[in-house]
Chains A and B, each alone.
Chain A
Amino acid sequence: MTARRISPLRAVWVAPALLVLGGLPVAPARAQATPPEAAPPATAPVAASDVPTGVRAIRGLLEQRRYIEAAQAGEKLVREHQDDADAWIALAYVHLTPEWAFRRDARAASAAQRAIKAGGRRPDAVAALAIARARLTEYDEALALIAEMCDATPPRVAGDQLAELLVLRADLAIKRAGGDPTVQAALLLDLDRAIAAAPRASGARVLRAEALMNVDRHEEALRDLEVALDVAPGSRQAHAAARICRQRTGDAAGARRHHEIWKRLNRLSDSVASASAPDEQERRSTLRELAELNPRDVDRRVELAVLELKLGDPAAAQRQCDALLALRPGFAPWLRLREQAAAAARAVGAGGG
């Protein structure tokens, strides 16, 4: 039994959980982008002799976007450790990963329930169940779980997790009765509270901006969006909201700039199949444009550097790394990438000679 155990994994599941709203990063985005080489090594199928090892492996797979393998590893882990709440929570969060097209919300819910059965009403398990219930449009059940976590005195969750659940409640309120002024006021209170708990929660900032725009408080909305974009400069949703907000405040040029960025971000991520998705050449070209338009988006710039290297332009990769390192001198993953690019450039030079 693991009921007595305080989950060592909570931090592990913050990142997937914050994507609960389909693109709303509630907590801060990764502090610094790292190229794929820097991701933790994954082993699949996972040889899960113990739960922490298995969970670490699943986390590694998720970070590499190897979702199916992560789900398989999760299923294997819970088969081998049926009474372990951490194992079930790991599986639940695999199926809560919003960008995985074939995730199964129902499996997330059943895994979270098993986690509760095994480990009691731990905040991470209840939060996972709330998210899954919301995804399954079982809103009343989700709201009850959120209330259990957030409205207790003191709240049973704090920080990013509190913010995440409050954002989810606000989002459900918008869905169910967004036009009702009373609901608007209540959801703004929830979002204020979420931002107080996690001031740099970009998802909460974006959602509050949307709510403020609905009541014509555009200047305040813009301030939220600026924070959101500072935290997550590659957020499609934040750029979309900023476009609308600036358009309404008469800043046509600003609106167009956000739209141009949004269009390129959307192009990179909108299609789920190769027939419609950009090929590598187009992807590189789009990333180059994004690097000019939105230089703060280091995730995309790292992706660009990797792609430049892959497509045989190590000099361009080096330039991109130099630009990144100017933002954060000495950052090891970027230094390693630059070294790879330099080595490739030398090889090209040697081959050419």
Chain B
Amino acid sequence: MGSGAARWAALAALAVPTVAGGARAGEPDGPWFVERPDSGVDFVHRRFMTTGKKYLCETAGAGIGLLDYDGDGRLDLYCVQSCALPGYDGAPEVAVDRLYRNLGGFRFEPVAPVVKVRVRGSDGVEQVMEKPLGLGDARYGMGVTCPDVDNDGDPDLFVANVGRDALYRNEGDGTFTDVTERAGIVDDGWSTAAGWADLDGDGDLDLYLANYAKIDYATYKPCTTRNRVSYCHPDTLESAPDRLWRNDGDFRFTEVTAEAGIVEPDEGGKGLAVIPFDHDGDGRLDLFIANDADENYLWMNRGGMKFEEEAGFWCVDVSGRGASQSCMGTDLADVDGDLDLDLFAANFGKEPNVLYVRGKDGVYDDRSYPSGLGEPSYLFTGFGARFLDYDRDGDPDLVVVNGHIVDDAEEFDPTQTFKQVPHLYANNGSGQFKSVGSSLSPFFSTPRVGRGLVSGDLDEDGDLDLVVLDNDGPLVLLENRGTPAGGWISFALVGTKSPRDAIGAVVTIECAGKRQAQPLVGSSSYLSWSDLRLFFGLGAVPADATVSATIRWPSGLVQSLERLAAARVHRIVEPR
């Protein structure tokens, strides 16, 4: 794959013979990704720095969620905010998480704390009345996930906080209800990533909650480097154990961490990402947990809600050189076109990002450097990470947003900066990547403290847009306006025997002789939740090409579909 404006123009000139919705020939040259400050999203993340303490969590947040909360077919936006912690010495300020409604055409509006809802009275007459939105979490937020917890067809919300987490039930009328206490998901520690997957095969989503570290504001011992208070190394904090809850239906959960065998080795890990997927093809979803400064976990699902940790055996615990890494944002994709799934994790500065490529025997190989992802990432501290076929050429590319955790990193290491440029790596189809972002948009040349990152088709035009949230900075929407290399097809999966969100499903398509596979992960990237629809770029294929697809549902059911039209989102309901 080429890159840059030349390629952009060349593709436009080629007028690639795509199916409908393909090349927008004739458009003026311009950036592939265009920032949309006019979108109406005015969210700015605040970290509320305590100058005398510098709690590590201040520099860790925060995530973003994409969800269609009101069922209008457009992806809305949930933004996670922080709050003042003990010792905060800045100006008083109230900040809460915010929900933005997508109005279409890349326009959003903040959803007010009180909304108008339509209610049908006992007399059958519909009335409009005001009702609290039910959101507005004001704790120190980290991550957000938007699963359909009760399989009722609308996304609910789970916000992972430093402090009490929050589970919100979507009432289906544009409002939410906090059901945390009722659900029994009580965790007052420093939670980060929430992985949702049907782990016991009963058709609903269970919850694996990654926790980071124990933090006690009263006894927190600031760390100093060269006589200055600085953010601590993760090893200075005691890890907080991850937890597992079984979904018993009707927003009731039972904690099963110990019974399930989720007993972390040694001092435990500091979890930052949870990826559910069926590693061994036994029909049960396993869990990959990315840990910061510790070995990663691969919890193998043995059935009956029992797990065994086998990251070491499958070689995804540490780098290929046997060193623990600081894994943060994580994602899963078939990077080399062999139809099995490979794992990626963004790492701390002076550790390359890691790409674990799955071999035929199921053992992963650290291909960070050979893939081209190692060297360009070596000096960067990566957080949000998403695979997406941004140019629709038929392979997963990769976006990583970067930013150090130490706000004066420059003072300690001349190779490091707090703000760092994001990266977009183009895949050549065989798992070889090249950093091309700076030629695609000024966004990729602008240093920032990137954290949350999601992808989704925000404007319903068949390509994937991006949303990035900086630590202590603004949220940025990036519209994909590039001239794609080909057509597209998308799948919105609706589980029946499987959970409605179908997390853990794998869709394999074939078009014009080329096959591709994509997993439906849910929680991915860094503390974030992307569009649950799967988007495939088709590359340059004949205009009349059709697509066949095989869906492996989490229930184990395998469904085959033939002659699907390209350039549309196919809503596929799992056969009962």
Q: Is B318 at the interface (CB under 8 A from chain A)?
A: yes
CA distance A275 to B234 in the complex (A): 9
A270 engages B294 (CB within 8 Å): yes
A270 engages B324 (CB within 8 Å): yes
Q: Is B369 at the interface (CB under 8 A from chain A)?
A: yes
A271 engages B235 (CB within 8 Å): yes
B321 engages A23 (CB within 8 Å): yes
Residues of B near A23 (CB, < 8 A) are 321-323
Q: Is A310 at the interface (CB under 8 A from chain B)?
A: no
A240 engages B318 (CB within 8 Å): yes
Given contacts A244-B320, A248-B361, A272-B233, 7 further A-B contacts (CB under 8 A): A179-B372, A240-B321, A247-B315, A248-B363, A276-B239, A277-B235, A278-B266
Contact A256/B369 with A175-B378, A236-B322 known, Cβ cut-off 8 Å: no
Q: Is B227 at the interface (CB under 8 A from chain A)?
A: no
B323 engages A22 (CB within 8 Å): yes
Q: Is A237 at the interface (CB under 8 A from chain B)?
A: yes
Residues of A near B374 (CB, < 8 A) are 175, 178
A136 engages B267 (CB within 8 Å): no
B369 engages A178 (CB within 8 Å): yes
B322 engages A272 (CB within 8 Å): no
CA distance A248 to B359 in the complex (A): 9
- Least CB distance from B159 to A in Å reads 27
The range of chain B's interface size is: 35 or more
Residues of B near A22 (CB, < 8 A) are 323
Q: Is B242 at the interface (CB under 8 A from chain A)?
A: no
- Least CB distance from B423 to A in Å reads 16
A240 engages B415 (CB within 8 Å): no
Residues of B near A174 (CB, < 8 A) are 369-370
Q: Which of A113-121, A260-268, A318-326, A342-350 contacts B (4 or more CB under 8 A)?
A: A260-268
Contact A275/B238 with A175-B378, A210-B320, A248-B363 known, Cβ cut-off 8 Å: yes
Residues of B near A104 (CB, < 8 A) are 413
Residues of A near B414 (CB, < 8 A) are 106, 136
B72-97, CB < 8 A from A: none
A179 engages B371 (CB within 8 Å): yes
- Least CB distance from B545 to A in Å reads 31
CA distance A270 to B359 in the complex (A): 27
Q: Is B312 at the interface (CB under 8 A from chain A)?
A: yes
B322 engages A256 (CB within 8 Å): no
Residues of A near B318 (CB, < 8 A) are 240, 266
Shortest 6 CB-CB contacts between residues of A and residues of B:
A240-B322, A179-B370, A273-B235, A178-B369, A273-B236, A178-B370
Q: Is A259 at the interface (CB under 8 A from chain B)?
A: yes
Residues of B near A53 (CB, < 8 A) are none
Contact A262/B322 with A178-B369, A272-B235, A276-B238 known, Cβ cut-off 8 Å: yes
B313 engages A137 (CB within 8 Å): no
Write out, one digit per residue, whether chain A residues 210-245 have a CB within 8 A of any chain B CB (1) or not (0): 100010000000000000000000001101110110
A259 engages B432 (CB within 8 Å): no
Residues of B near A278 (CB, < 8 A) are 266-267
B267 engages A247 (CB within 8 Å): no
Residues of A near B370 (CB, < 8 A) are 174, 178-179, 214
Give the contacting residue for A244; candidates B293, B315, B323, B371; CB below 8 A.
Answer: B315
Residues of B near A277 (CB, < 8 A) are 235
- Least CB distance from A228 to B in Å reads 12
- Least CB distance from B293 to A in Å reads 8
Q: Is A79 at the interface (CB under 8 A from chain B)?
A: no
- Least CB distance from A181 to B in Å reads 10
Q: Is A156 at the interface (CB under 8 A from chain B)?
A: no
Q: Is A176 at the interface (CB under 8 A from chain B)?
A: yes
B378 engages A137 (CB within 8 Å): yes
- Least CB distance from B66 to A in Å reads 34
Residues of A near B371 (CB, < 8 A) are 179
B338-387, CB < 8 A from A: 352, 359, 361, 363, 365, 367, 369-372, 374-375, 378-379
CA distance A210 to B321 in the complex (A): 9
Give the contacting residue for A175; candidates B234, B312, B365, B375; CB below 8 A.
Answer: B375
20 contacts between A and B (CB under 8 A): A102-B225, A106-B414, A136-B414, A175-B352, A175-B369, A175-B374, A178-B374, A210-B320, A210-B321, A214-B370, A240-B322, A241-B322, A262-B322, A263-B312, A266-B295, A266-B318, A270-B294, A274-B236, A275-B238, A278-B266
CA distance A240 to B316 in the complex (A): 12
Q: Is B237 at the interface (CB under 8 A from chain A)?
A: yes
Residues of B near A244 (CB, < 8 A) are 315, 320, 363, 365
Write out, one digit per residue, whether chain A residues 173-201 have a CB within 8 A of any chain B CB (1) or not (0): 01110110000000000000000000000
A271 engages B323 (CB within 8 Å): no
Chain A, residue nearest B267 (CB)? A276
Most chain A beta-carbon contacts within 10 A, residue among B312, B415, B432 = B312
A20-46, CB < 8 A from B: 22-23
Give the contacting residue for B415; candidates A136, A248, A267; CB below 8 A.
Answer: A136
- Least CB distance from A297 to B in Å reads 15
- Least CB distance from B285 to A in Å reads 24
A275 engages B236 (CB within 8 Å): yes
B321 engages A275 (CB within 8 Å): no
CA distance A121 to B548 in the complex (A): 66
Residues of A near B363 (CB, < 8 A) are 244, 247-248
